[in-house]
Amino acid sequence: MSWIENINNQAMLLAPYFATSLTILLALLLDNILGEAKKYHYLVGFGWLADKIESVLNHNNKKQNPHSKKSSLKIKLLGLFSWCLLVLPLPIVYFLFINDLAWYWQILLDASVLYLAIGLNSLHQHAMQIYIPLKSEDLVKARHFTGYIVSRETNALSPQAMSRATVESMLENGHDSVIASMVYYIIGGAPLVILHRLANTLDAMWGYKTSRFNHFGYASAKLDDLLGFFSAKICTLLYSIQGDVKQSVTNAYQQGNQYKSHNGGWVMAAGATVMKITLGGNAFYHGKVITSPTLGLGNSVSIEDIPRSITLVKRAAITLALLTFFYQLVCYLL
């Protein structure tokens, strides 16, 4: 037996013990090389289906009095039913029928699922679409692309306000579309990744406190908060260890709990503290001024903080991947 064959055989023996690490590594490589799938992305079809279901089930309740307790409860139950109908089938099917393949096929399939859930490359691209025009003082273009990543009104945003909105989006979505997917793959495999990603997408579509979604999107918003609770704490730690850990965790607890989104508040407060900047303040949402509490500690956000926020997210993802590998290595050696 040649030394090449010997190495190959050893690798084949070791690979199953490091399947989780290999899957994460492959998914990150696919994301880095291929980026976001522009065509035939599963979330496009999922979003279309969600719109259709919402238009049927939520439309029928528009004629009812939303202030009636009976009516609001009915709409909330319809929203919960819609959530279950959209979110649960795919992860259940995956768990029952596609979750027990040969280890090499399982790695390839799980890595494909994780790649589609992770949006690290996409975050970088969106950030640069705003950062580059801001650097060249093309405010019209910068405002246009800022509108792609935030729900606030962008037509009159200043460069500083756009920088703040972008950094907030990068830190929060660094959790939602990168760290959370990795965390839930580690603890529950691809089915849990699918469950979280679909739930998070529905929250982005329905989780608004407007007359249309205040009741129908109630279950979606609460379930997304519940599913993201654990991963947000992991993300907080992954951000915090890149700077002043004690201050970052303290601010995450004290400031994050005052923010409109518990999970988003924690990760943004920790990330902003590490970056030594402050986030929060006034922003226009659906024609109304919403004042958010201060998150972080330090200077106001500048344009150069945009690439810094992406670097923070990338380091958090790499750290989690390395910690997973070392944990599996220790388990193998023991």
- Quick one: CA dihedral 153, 174, 184, 197, positive or negative? positive
| 285 vs 289: CA distance, rounded Å | 6
pLDDT value of position 286: 55
Q: Given its phi and psi angles, is residue 9 left (phi above 0), alpha (psi -120 to 50 degrees) or beta?
A: alpha
| 223 vs 201: CA distance, rounded Å | 12
**Structure token digits, residue 269:** 């407060």
pLDDT value of position 101: 83
Q: In tens digits, what is the pLDDT along the chain, a chain of 334 residues?
A: 565 555 556 556 677 788 999 999 999 999 999 887 765 566 778 888 988 998 888 865 555 555 566 678 888 999 999 999 999 999 999 999 988 888 889 999 999 999 999 999 999 999 999 999 999 999 999 999 998 888 777 787 889 989 999 999 999 999 999 999 999 999 999 999 999 999 999 998 898 777 788 888 899 999 999 999 999 999 999 999 999 999 999 999 999 999 988 999 999 999 999 999 999 876 656 556 677 889 999 999 999 999 999 999 999 999 999 999 999 999 888 8
How distant, in Å, are the alpha carbons of 34, 193, 232, 253, 311 from that of 167? 24, 25, 17, 20, 11
pLDDT value of position 327: 94
